Amino acid sequence: MFRYDNRFTQFLPGDTEPRNFRRQVFGACYSRVRPTPVPAPRLVAYSREMATELGLSATDCDSESFLQVFSGNQVLDGMDPFAMCYGGHQFGNWAGQLGDGRAINLAEVVGRDQRRWTLQLKGAGPTPYSRTADGLAVLRSSLREFLCSEAMFHLGVPTTRALSLVLTGQDVIRDMFYDGNPQREPGAVVCRVAPSFTRFGNFEILGARQDDEVLRQLTNFTIEHDFPDFWLSRQTEVNSPQFYADWFAEVCRRTATMMVHWMRVGFVHGVMNTDNMSILGLTIDYGPYGWLEDYDPSWTPNTTDAHGRRYAFGQQPQIGMWNLVRLANALWPLVQQKEPLQNALQEYSESYHRQFETMMAAKLGMAHYDESLIDGLFRLLGSLETDYTLFFRQLAIWQESAVPADNFEQWFDAQGIPELLKPAYYNLGQWSQTIAQRTRDWLGQYRILLQRDRQTPADRRQSMQRVNPKFVLRNYLAQLAIDAVAQGDFSPVARLLDVLRNPYSDQPEADSFAEKRPEWARHRAGCSMLSCSS
Ligand code: AMP
Ligand code: MG
């Protein structure tokens, strides 16, 4: 089925203990471990784009062999399954060894165009890193991970991918609300796919244990295999402090880029612990994530974080920095100089701000960032519950109509509500004179700036619609798909995946998927708030 090239296990030190029991693992980057078989696997969905990348046809994906492999029942010749050893800072505190507690890397394969991918099962049974947990995953979190990985890919956000979602036929016990009411839930396995699943935490655990030897091996391996351009251009400098510092700066830039994308599409990761930060700058570990509905920078979907709001939407860029500082500390033995590391961190800030400004200007269809306009926009979005996605999408349409010089007034109703923006407002009952004035002022300022712009309003609408998605994986849409699958109907997953394939296209037949969150979903678990239980 695949062409294998298992480099992680070939080139890096592994655990010498072959038995699968929970323990601390020293002097190694991974432990070999096999998935636990499941009784009655059923394929819920697969991603045809990911399958194509891997060289798999539709017939391959519908085959019995595919089901057996991606449920964990069969390990193919050439696969070399392992779980990674990593640590992490969770909610600001060092947590020691974590590791792949329920993820098993099956193999590294070479796909289309010689691209390399690691195939990883999540929820396929315990590993040496499972600590007190069972190594399993439930349907709801697995389906959310499967769909969101692919949705993010189609949105153009750097992300790990997903190949398949399989029901195991075995229930898993979870206390979803942590209130002493454990329930049986259907178990599932997702096959995740990425060039590599290495995290900040893989370096941190070696740093914390002062295992400089393995730290250098892992770092060199990562640079050579995951940053091949950097490696090739700097090969003569390997092992020099500047070599590692400059590579760290590249990690900083990639992390900044990922943050800007999250802010663009309104994605809230929910658990930005350092073990959930990919060294490649990919969005990784979809847990209690959420999509911003009404614009609120302090919003977090994660009920565990409801008090501290450490990982709220607006905090994410700063937390990115905090996490990079942890990574810099871990890499200290390789650099041993403050300045180059500090310069790299400084570059994170600068790169983030530069990219954020370009992104915000693009969201508004403008060639340049205008600070007072953007500040005013965020104030406006915060003064009445406004859907972040719909607002920008509708604004693209609004400007096309309202920019011509003589017709500003006709785009407001009697109460001063801009007609074309109405779909974005959650609670027009709270519309007031003050909000009307603020809205008119801001739209007026925006319009004047646009009138100075060379682009035609029609071209501008098109360019705005390329950065402002119409379709995101609204929290309640994922929940509806979960409910359907739990009832045995898999078709809503395929439908949703289909719509999310083209998030920037109008797809008028799919308008219902673009609507703002319905009122019933406002306080329903799984729709507006999620626990970490998964
Ligand atoms: P998370 O906060 O989900 O990223 O998980 C933190 C750590 O807990 C990681 O090492 C996970 O592999 C591990 N973990 C989470 N859930 C489970 C589970 N059900 N079984 C085993 N390990 C788990
Ligand atoms: Mg994790």
* Burial class of residue 58, CB neighbours in 10 A (0-12, 13-18, 19+): exposed
Rounded to an integer, what distance in angstroms lies between the CA atom of residue 351 and that of residue 347?
6
Give me ligand 1 centre to Cα 304, in Å: 15
Rounded to an integer, what distance in angstroms lies between the CA atom of residue 504 and that of residue 430?
30
Predicted local distance difference test score (pLDDT) of residue 407: 87
With a 6 Å cutoff on the Cβ, whether 101 touches ligand 1 is: yes
Rounded to an integer, what distance in angstroms lies between the CA atom of residue 527 and that of residue 467?
25
Ligand 1: residue of 98, 121, 172 to mutate (most ligand atoms within 8 A of CB) is 98
- List the beta bridge partners of residue 117: 109
Residue with the smallest CA separation from ligand 1 atom 4 is: 276
Give the strand pairing for 290-291 and 87-90: unpaired
Give me ligand 2 centre to Cα 92, in Å: 15
With a 6 Å cutoff on the Cβ, whether 151 touches ligand 1 is: no
With a 6 Å cutoff on the Cβ, whether 123 touches ligand 1 is: no
With a 6 Å cutoff on the Cβ, whether 386 touches ligand 1 is: no
Contact 476, 496 (CB under 8 A): no
Is 453 one of the annotated active-site residues of the chain? Answer: no
Q: What are phi and psi of 38, to 5 degrees?
A: -120, 155
Predicted local distance difference test score (pLDDT) of residue 94: 98
Q: For residue 285, which atom of ligand 1 is closest to its CA? A: 4
With a 6 Å cutoff on the Cβ, whether 87 touches ligand 1 is: no
List per-block mean pLDDT (blocks of 10 residues) for the chain, which spans 534 residues: 97 98 98 98 98 98 98 98 98 98 98 97 98 97 98 99 98 93 97 98 98 98 98 96 98 98 98 98 98 97 95 98 98 98 98 98 97 98 97 97 88 96 97 97 97 94 98 97 97 98 98 96 89 91
Predicted local distance difference test score (pLDDT) of residue 92: 98
